[in-house]
Structure 1
Amino acid sequence: MEINNIIDLSIFQMIAAYVFVILVLIMVKIRGISREKEIVISTIRMTLQLILTGYILVYVFDNISPLITIVIIIIMEAFAIHNIYKRTKTKLSNKIKKIIAISMILGTLSSLLFFLFVVINISPWYDPRYFIPIAGMLIGNSMTGISLGVTRLIDGIHSKKNLVESALMLGATPKMASKEIVDNAFDSAILPTINSMVGMGIVFLPGMMTGQILSGISPVTAIEYQIAIMLGILGSVALTVILFVNLGYKTFFNEESQLELEE
């Protein structure tokens, strides 16, 4: 059936979409790839999480409140930071964990507030229909960026330990000795965002733009929003990651500018 020219998916149609999951399970089974458990669990989690989110958003949209919006943002930030800790395979020191949290909070919130107040200029500022989806995109992409940055920074410091120590013995400061590692970590972290921008509009239509078009909004208006949000995502990822790498590398050095790595 259609509601306001939007096709409303029935239960049967939703179930039919899970055929794609079955196809993937068959493929990995035939190839002998042991991913069946992960695929099933991720599918179930995704379904339950989205259903729960849908009902929560219905309540939030019907009961607009600055307190509720702030609480949701705090939860999103906390989950993103926890997810970064969980994604990183190597052990993280308490110092670098603090840097990750500070970078995520400062980078994403400053980008979000600028986007809402200057780019869109929404009123009231806590309108959940704008605040929550935009915050989700900025925080989610920044989380991915920092996850890559953390891995590259830690791997770089460990793999190039001898080069860093040699530079320090020759009189270089910790900043100079680790500059190449920091630059590589930053580059690796923002590259996925840049690559996604290259093919956007020609190779694929992003989710936000597709959703707006399906809801009946003019494609031109949808494009305007998509351009704005992609630039916001780029800025948020870059700001968050640059904060992390420029503060994070310092956690590997002591007060005497000596390299200290936890075994």
Structure 2
Amino acid sequence: MDSNGTIDLTFWKVAAAYLFILIVWFIIRIKKIPREKLIAIATLRMTLQLILIGYVLIFVFKYPHPAVTIAIIFFMLCFAIYNVYDRTEPSIHQSLKKMIALAMVLGIALSMLYMVAVVLQLDPWYEPRIFIPIGGMIIGKTMTGVALGVTNLLTGMKQEQDKVEAALMLGATPKQASKTIINQAFDAALLPTINAMVGMGIVFLPGMMTGQIIAGQSPLAAVKYQVAVMLGVAGTVAITIVIFLHLSYKSFFTSRNQFIITKRN
């Protein structure tokens, strides 16, 4: 433990933590669950990726530059968009992919601008020690929300196809016919964030707050940052999902307001 009260984890201390993965491996072998390769790959990727980003951040923090900060955030955003594509149905069409990307870029950009200019009031605005970690948390949570929104929209359009067509036959517009599906997809996308907010502070201490406390920050100072970030996450997820849903539902209808038949499972 150093003079600031923080614990410096040596190589051997970190290596000792891999015992937990060996326990997981042992359990799945006993239960004959074929996940050994996946766990090994996930552990290796996590380790290498975190080491790599650690060295990158050391350089970025030492030589801060707005172009580098924006480039890192842009790379995170591109990777998040790719992950949404990967986690949703393989049959997702190109127009829907464009709407996912557009919604995520707009929602995250608007939220980050407000966070930097109004909430955090960073000076300089591109301060990488704050901009990059907070941007990463917002992008990561938004990625999960959008993936859930996309999945529920596609599932709803397939399962409720008869109801949508019936509503169209009775004179409803595409927006009216798909309103329930859109609302359910929005609810499913936002629910994990709301559940996290409900349990935060009582059931668990969030990662950012824990990290700041371990680094020697006052718990109250850590709380202020965590509250600001979680409110930003909730707002970003909501904004992004609203943009996506109100753009994407139109892709399920023709220019003559006819429902495009989808394959059912």
When the two structures are superposed, what TM-score results if normalisation uses the length of structure 1?
0.98
Aligned length: 263
2-side partners of 1:49 and 1:151: how far apart? 27
- Following superposition, the deviation at residue 262 of structure 1 comes to 5.0
- Identify the residue that residue 41 of structure 2 maps to in structure 1: 41
1-side partners of 2:139 and 2:229: how far apart? 12
- Following superposition, the deviation at residue 6 of structure 1 comes to 1.4
1-side partners of 2:41 and 2:232: how far apart? 32
- Identify the residue that residue 50 of structure 1 maps to in structure 2: 50
- Following superposition, the deviation at residue 71 of structure 1 comes to 1.0
Q: What do the CA deviations read for 1:56-78 (whole angstroms, capped 9, x no partner)?
A: 00000011101111111211111
- Identify the residue that residue 256 of structure 1 maps to in structure 2: 256
2-side partners of 1:79 and 1:233: how far apart? 18
- Identify the residue that residue 97 of structure 2 maps to in structure 1: 97
Give, as a single letter, the amino acid of the residue that structure 1 aligns with 2:147: S
Please tell me whether the aligned partners of residues 158 and 262 of structure 2 are also in contact (alpha carbons under 8 angstroms). no
- Identify the residue that residue 163 of structure 1 maps to in structure 2: 163
- Identify the residue that residue 245 of structure 1 maps to in structure 2: 245
Q: What do the CA deviations read for 1:114-145 (whole angstroms, capped 9, x no partner)?
A: 01110110011111111111110111100000
SS at the partner of 1:193?
A: helix
- Following superposition, the deviation at residue 254 of structure 1 comes to 1.1
- Identify the residue that residue 5 of structure 1 maps to in structure 2: 5
- Identify the residue that residue 24 of structure 1 maps to in structure 2: 24
SS at the partner of 2:260?
A: coil
Q: What do the CA deviations read for 1:128-164 (whole angstroms, capped 9, x no partner)?
A: 1111111101111000000000000001001111110
- Following superposition, the deviation at residue 100 of structure 1 comes to 0.1
- Following superposition, the deviation at residue 199 of structure 1 comes to 0.7
1-side partners of 2:34 and 2:218: how far apart? 44
Unaligned runs of 5+ in 1: none
Q: Mapping of 1:11-160 within 5 angstroms?
A: 11-160=11-160
1-side partners of 2:121 and 2:254: how far apart? 45
Q: Mapping of 1:180-219 within 5 angstroms?
A: 180-219=180-219
Q: What do the CA deviations read for 1:155-198 (whole angstroms, capped 9, x no partner)?
A: 10011111100100100000000000000000000000000111
- Following superposition, the deviation at residue 46 of structure 1 comes to 0.3
- Following superposition, the deviation at residue 4 of structure 1 comes to 3.4
1-side partners of 2:3 and 2:104: how far apart? 39
SS at the partner of 1:92?
A: coil
1-side partners of 2:228 and 2:107: how far apart? 17
Give the superposed CA RMSD.
1.0
Moved over 2 A (4+): 1-5
- Following superposition, the deviation at residue 103 of structure 1 comes to 0.3
Give, as a single letter, the amino acid of the residue that structure 1 aligns with 2:97: K
2-side partners of 1:129 and 1:10: how far apart? 23
- Following superposition, the deviation at residue 85 of structure 1 comes to 0.4
- Following superposition, the deviation at residue 5 of structure 1 comes to 2.5
1-side partners of 2:161 and 2:261: how far apart? 9
2-side partners of 1:53 and 1:69: how far apart? 13
SS at the partner of 1:64?
A: coil
1-side partners of 2:124 and 2:2: how far apart? 31
2-side partners of 1:163 and 1:200: how far apart? 39
1-side partners of 2:54 and 2:3: how far apart? 17
2-side partners of 1:262 and 1:132: how far apart? 40
Give, as a single letter, the amino acid of the residue that structure 2 aligns with 1:20: F
Give, as a single letter, the amino acid of the residue that structure 1 aligns with 2:163: L
Unaligned runs of 5+ in 2: none
C-alpha change, 1:3 and 1:43, in structure 2 (3 Å) is farther
Give, as a single letter, the amino acid of the residue that structure 2 aligns with 1:79: F
